[in-house]
Structure 1
């Protein structure tokens, strides 16, 4: 039985009118909806039958993009060309693996950190290029990156080791899923070595999560979920998803939570003062969609993509989290931040005595596609930002080319 048949929710019908509403002097993307679900109403579990490719993008979505690229349709054709022209997709670029990757604060020292992250993204770019073009040279290039690291890396060390492991692990899992399940030329021995790398070097780190800022734990959990799909590791998948469902309401606030945000299980944030401090000094919560790192800077608030990527993987594996609390928080969070990224004035109660440090990055496509194109929510703020920033490129950490993969992709 598919997992989606195991859960039942009694929701009121979603109203057909979607609106952009004003809330405490802030416009938020929302819908005239009469329902919401809470995180504890659903316990995502590993599927009884795994879908492959199944990490953030599935075969139907890949096929949709391939067909659009073939006929020169936009925005996919321009996004595809931009990816091929990106330095990470260069055919002359080569892997630079390191046995012990050492990443200190702000990657100082930086011993293999940049190379690992970018090699993983390069593998992903080439995996996509292979599927969309059918040219085996791209698949073999992706494999060259994965094999080089699988036969070299032993550990990550220093203070940013967990974050680094999450960044690289998320991209490795995406690349490996596409190549393993759409190309026949990756040798079994090399696949086994790559599995061993993910199982022994990456998964034990990322599966534990983090009590640091939410952007750490979310990308670590993205890596854990993706790796679990690649390995078909149900126990690890369930552990990662359970942590994710606890982290979501601790990263994006909704007014239904009460006067203050929820705390992630095991965080120790058991007083109002601790929560305010953890939320970068935000003293009052007067609108839906505020993030735990809004008042820090929007670059770190760009942790929304791991959140989106996990939800997308969960949907592919049979459990659509977009239709409940996870989706509701995502929708509000994207719209809330998109308006400021485009120049809206900050109200006095938000991040008092400091400016908003903008710089969301290429984060909108997966969420806008899921919540607007699939589910029909009006998301004017998010839509405007998505169109302004197309084609989305890479942040050189763990994100890449999401206009190409998810822009208006309704497959």
Structure 2
């Protein structure tokens, strides 16, 4: 009798779940995979399906991917004559002063990723070889990042290098003789600098560091590093974007102990009134806020490709964060109680990934974010993100 009832109970449960959700059945989110399950490759920020869709759109001349591809191809990062500038020690102080290799490393990492994307679209192995050349140049000499900005610098460059390595390793069948050396560099030079988070630094630091950490973890098939990056992310996002359900004050990140109202207000750039979507860095400037928000989305996107639904855990928090800032960027008046009535705009082209997930995968209406996103197309490259109109626009 029990065996006969089980199929009926299962059917009833499925019907109840379907009736209670507003998300279309075809957009249902995948179940979380067991911890022992192998990683999906390629699966750092972009999946095989997304890469194939990107390529087919460009080959068909479809928009907005084609315009994005042409912009990428015309950039300095795409030149086959690009020459990397590696060094053994990258020294980066506050605001990259001193700047001993900081800009060079970031630019080289983005150039490597650019060539990896060009390889995938064109199947011209000159681009794959150029990406490998850049990765090999750095893995041959780099031993450390130093000075006060070392963790952030490592996050910026590590995010792009991990995407490049993943794409080349799992889509290019040509030789990469020094791949093990590159993997060792990510494991021994990059990961130790970022894996434990950023403590009480501004939140974009830790989110960018986790963007790199989760990418490196997937590329290296390092389950412990993957789980640790997710754990720190889970503790940081609620401490970066406020929700009224948090109570009268924002939460403290798990890596930063803040015990009093005075400490929290100071950490939130002096802002003492809080509303849904406000970020810990809103009253600093929208540029750093955009970095934090998109890094949070990058971690969720990579986790999604590995069967972990971080997006679902912070759905309202993350969509409110983007709405709050894109609304003002689109021209809405700044409330008098926000940052003294004045904000520093400049969120950046940081919305493609989050819009693609919540709107194109899940069907959520996001007209304010869409208006902002379309105004920034085709998205270019900056520090640790690149060409996301090409990779993620209308690409669920």
**Aligned: 1:203 with 2:191:** yes
Aligned counterpart for 1:387 among listed residues 369, 374, 395: 374
**Aligned: 1:343 with 2:343:** no
**Aligned: 1:400 with 2:389:** no
Q: CA 1:131/1:46 → structure 2, altered by over 3 Å: closer, same or farther?
A: farther
Give the corresponding residue for 2:288.
300
Q: CA 1:372/1:49 → structure 2, altered by over 3 Å: closer, same or farther?
A: same
Give the corresponding residue for 2:220.
231
Which structure's residues are more often helix, by fraction? 2
Give the corresponding residue for 2:122.
133
Aligned counterpart for 1:78 among listed residues 53, 67, 80: 67
Give the corresponding residue for 1:332.
320
Counterparts of 1:95 and 1:266, CA distance in 2: 35
**Aligned: 1:283 with 2:272:** yes
Give the corresponding residue for 1:409.
395
SS in structure 2 of the partner of residue 145 of structure 1: helix
1:6-405 residue pairs with structure 2 within 5 A? Answer: 13-15=20-22, 46=35, 48-187=37-176, 189-211=177-199, 212-285=201-274, 287-302=275-290, 303-324=292-313, 326-352=314-340, 354-395=341-382, 397-405=383-391
Counterparts of 1:11 and 1:226, CA distance in 2: 34
**1:347 shift after superposition:** 0.8
- Once the two structures are overlaid, the 10-residue window that deviates more, 174-183 or 265-274, is 265-274
Counterparts of 1:186 and 1:327, CA distance in 2: 42
Counterparts of 2:375 and 2:171, CA distance in 1: 33
Counterparts of 2:366 and 2:86, CA distance in 1: 42
SS in structure 1 of the partner of residue 91 of structure 2: strand
- CA-to-partner distance for each residue in 1:200-241, whole Å, 9 max, x for gaps? 000001101102000000000111100000100111111111
Counterparts of 1:222 and 1:162, CA distance in 2: 12
Counterparts of 1:71 and 1:56, CA distance in 2: 23
Alignment coverage as a number of residue pairs: 373
**1:351 shift after superposition:** 1.4
SS in structure 2 of the partner of residue 97 of structure 1: coil
Counterparts of 1:101 and 1:46, CA distance in 2: 35
Counterparts of 2:206 and 2:377, CA distance in 1: 28
Q: CA 1:393/1:373 → structure 2, altered by over 3 Å: closer, same or farther?
A: same
In structure 1, runs of 5+ residues without a counterpart are 1-9, 18-41
Report the TM-score when normalising by structure 2.
0.91
Structure showing greater Rg: 2
Give the corresponding residue for 1:3.
none
- CA-to-partner distance for each residue in 1:126-178, whole Å, 9 max, x for gaps? 00010011110110010011000011100000110110000000000001100
Report the TM-score when normalising by structure 1.
0.88
Q: CA 1:400/1:90 → structure 2, altered by over 3 Å: closer, same or farther?
A: same
SS in structure 2 of the partner of residue 102 of structure 1: strand
Q: CA 1:60/1:44 → structure 2, altered by over 3 Å: closer, same or farther?
A: closer
Q: CA 1:299/1:61 → structure 2, altered by over 3 Å: closer, same or farther?
A: same
**1:318 shift after superposition:** 0.7
Q: CA RMSD in A?
A: 1.9
SS in structure 1 of the partner of residue 84 of structure 2: coil
**1:401 shift after superposition:** 0.5
Q: CA 1:364/1:238 → structure 2, altered by over 3 Å: closer, same or farther?
A: same
**Structure 1: which 4+ aligned runs deviate by more than 4 Å?**
42-47
